[in-house]
Structure 1
Amino acid sequence: MYWSVVIPARNEEETLPALLAALHAQTRRADEIIVVDNGSSDRTAEVAAALGARVLHCPEPGVARARQLGLEHARGDWIASTDADSQPEPEWLAALERGIREVPGSVALYGPMQLLPLAGRVGPLGARLSGVGYRVFLGVMAALGQPNCAGANMAFSRQAALMVGGWPLVEAREDVLLGMALRRLGTVRYLPDAAVHTSARRLKRGWGPFLWTHIRNLAGHTSGYFDR
């Protein structure tokens, strides 16, 4: 099994070192790490290359476009997706691979996330509680037969993704939509052991806007999330 990890990145020179360190520390090492530079004005591409990533360039803005370019150029038969401001736990890829082998016919898998502490916004206790809450949410959704994939922590068969047309080119919710499309081809599973820690920087505007964004996402909105 050949693994490509694909990371979209726009002006992420400060967050990439921690992410790439976490990927290099995996107990099951990735066969390929791709950083897709999505029109950065900082040293994102240079930092990624210096830390061992294969760098692709996607000048047209949009995280879905960056993810799609990574999918199209990846060498792996399985793609693991995460974000530049995230840090997978050491067993992340091993848990994903184990999950694929456990259930023949799996085409996609996804796992829980927990916020990283952020000074002035999220302390250690708040970070842990965010992880508990998200695990409960994902567990309930999985029990209801409604997988909720997130681009910061999901994996899928490259062949299957290409068969359904890849990442939908929308402003947001491309991860959920891809997961729904992949269900037509096979099993999409929630793996509690495949965990990722992710930045709480979106909380800088407060909990209200943060929660409203997620409510809109759950309601199916694919645009209107970012200032233009």
Structure 2
Amino acid sequence: MRISVVVPARNEEQLIVGCLEALKGQTLPPDEIIVVDNGSTDQTGELAARMGVKLVNCPTPGVALARQAGLEAATGDWVATTDADSRPVAGWLEALRPHMEQSVALYGPLRMFGLPAWQEELTELGYGVFLKLMQLIGKPNLAAANMAFHRQTALEVGGYPLVEAREDVLLGWSLKAKGPVRYVRDALVLTSARRVRGGWFNFLLQQARNLSGNSSGYFAAGEGRES
């Protein structure tokens, strides 16, 4: 089974190399790594190209457009996604792989890095509680920083809706209607603490808006948004 990894990125020259190094260091190497350069004005595309990944240009800013471009460019049976400011742990894909035969989509935990150690652990714990609650109400929260799905099934449901800031969650709900969606506890991804640079209250408020469909404000790929 071939696995493609898609990373949308816009003006991510500070973090894209760390993300790609984490992907190249996987214990189960991906069959292809795709970086979607979403209209960057810095060295993001050049840095990705130097690291030997497949580069896709999506000049119109918009995270949903960028993710869709990556999905359409992928050749793997499965597509795993993360963000340019994230670093999947070395066993990420290896943890996901055993569940692919019986699922249409998978997702896992997130932990923020760049905070004091106790806060980093608290972010993973709190996010885990949130994911459990969403699972219990039948609305699994598949965040694009740590999700994977069967490519053909995703194409059949139309891919990512062109709705900024919750396109990943909506795709996850569409996939759930097609088959099993599973949470994989060991498939951990570390993600940048810049997501809370505006304060925890604003971060949590944005998550509530994303899930309710009342999201306001524009979030481009790689510019600090997350579901």
TM-score (norm 2): 0.93
Give the letter for the 2:37 counterpart: D
User: Aligned-pair RMSD on alpha carbons?
Assistant: 1.4
CA drift at 1:193:
1.1
CA drift at 1:224:
2.6
Matched, 1:193 2:186: yes
- Unaligned 5+ segments in structure 1 are none
Partners in 2 of 1:12 and 1:226 — Cα distance? 14
Partners in 1 of 2:28 and 2:53 — Cα distance? 16
**Alignment match, 1:90:** 90
**SS of 1:192 mapped into structure 2:** coil
**Alignment match, 1:26:** 26
Partners in 2 of 1:221 and 1:26 — Cα distance? 37
* Preserved CA contact (<8 Å) 2:165 2:219: no
**Alignment match, 2:205:** 212
For residues 126-172 of structure 1, the C-alpha deviation after alignment (integer angstroms, 9 at most, x for no partner) is 01110011112212322333211001000001100000001111111
CA drift at 1:62:
0.3
**SS of 2:197 mapped into structure 1:** helix
Q: Percent same amino acid at aligned positions?
A: 57
**SS of 1:160 mapped into structure 2:** helix
Partners in 1 of 2:121 and 2:70 — Cα distance? 31
Give the letter for the 1:130 counterpart: T
- Unaligned 5+ segments in structure 2 are 221-227
Count of paired positions? 220
Superposed counterparts of 1:134-213, under 5 Å: 134-213=127-206
Give the letter for the 2:130 counterpart: F
**Alignment match, 1:40:** 40
CA drift at 1:225:
4.4
CA drift at 1:223:
4.1
Partners in 2 of 1:126 and 1:77 — Cα distance? 37
**Alignment match, 1:109:** 106
* Preserved CA contact (<8 Å) 1:173 1:221: no
CA drift at 1:214:
1.2
For residues 184-219 of structure 1, the C-alpha deviation after alignment (integer angstroms, 9 at most, x for no partner) is 211111111111000011222222221211121122
* Preserved CA contact (<8 Å) 1:85 1:199: yes
Larger RCO, structure (CA 8 Å, separation 6 or more) = 2
Give the letter for the 2:145 counterpart: A
